């Protein structure tokens, strides 16, 4: 798969900067944010992010609240949750709000890249389906919006 763009979000600055550096060495674009608020602000300005790797255990807002807001405002951006304190409850919550997948810290970089490749593949499939819907000349705007909403919900 061709290179794609990461936004790494974690309040542990050294950790997130190390992961970003290792991803860049492998040819990926990787930027860092150190809070959910910073990540959401960055996504407002930059629509080139493909995958957000988001820590669950951040202060105000936490990763669960951030993924919920992110998926509402940027529904095509895929999210992989990352935590050092994995629980079944936090995994279920993250997936309920639209996270693509869930990994625990420390995660193997190859595992992260593999999950990100899967996430980007899903993103591209959804973008293609939305384009197909938008190209249909014979459906109403309401039908078009419903079809797109269904694609984004899947």
User: Where in the sequence is the domain holding 57, given as residue range(s)?
Assistant: 5-123
- Does residue 151 lie within any of the structural domains? no
What is the domain count for the chain?
Answer: 1
- Report the CATH number at residue 89: 3.40.50.2300
Distance (Å, whole) CA 122 – CA 133? 17
Contacts of 79 (CB under 8 A, 6+ apart): 51, 52, 53, 54, 67, 70, 71, 94, 98, 99, 100, 119
- Does residue 132 lie within any of the structural domains? no
Taking the mean position of all CA atoms in its chain, how far away is CA 129? 19
pLDDT per residue of the chain (154 residues) written in tens, 0 to 9? 558 899 999 999 999 999 999 999 999 999 999 999 999 999 999 889 999 999 888 887 888 899 999 999 999 999 999 877 666 677 778 888 889 998 888 889 999 999 999 999 999 999 999 999 999 888 999 999 999 999 988 5
- Does residue 154 lie within any of the structural domains? no
């Amino acid at each position: 798969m061709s290179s794609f763009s990461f936004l790494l979000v974690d309040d542990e600055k050294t950790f997130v900067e190390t992961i970003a550096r290792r991803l860049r060495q492998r040819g990926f674009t990787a930027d860092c944010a150190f809070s959910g608020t910073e990540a959401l602000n960055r996504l407002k300005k930059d629509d080139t992010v493909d995958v957000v790797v988001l820590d669950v255990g951040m202060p105000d807002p936490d990763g669960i609240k951030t993924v919920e807001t992110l998926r509402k405002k940027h529904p095509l951006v895929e999210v992989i949750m990352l935590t050092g304190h994995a629980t079944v409850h936090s995994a279920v919550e993250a997936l309920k709000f639209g996270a693509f997948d869930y990994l625990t810290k420390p995660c193997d970089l190859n595992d992260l890249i593999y999950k990100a490749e899967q996430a980007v593949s899903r993103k591209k499939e959804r973008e293609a389906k939305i384009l197909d819907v938008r190209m249909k000349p014979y459906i109403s705007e309401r039908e078009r919006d419903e079809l797109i909403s269904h694609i984004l919900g899947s």
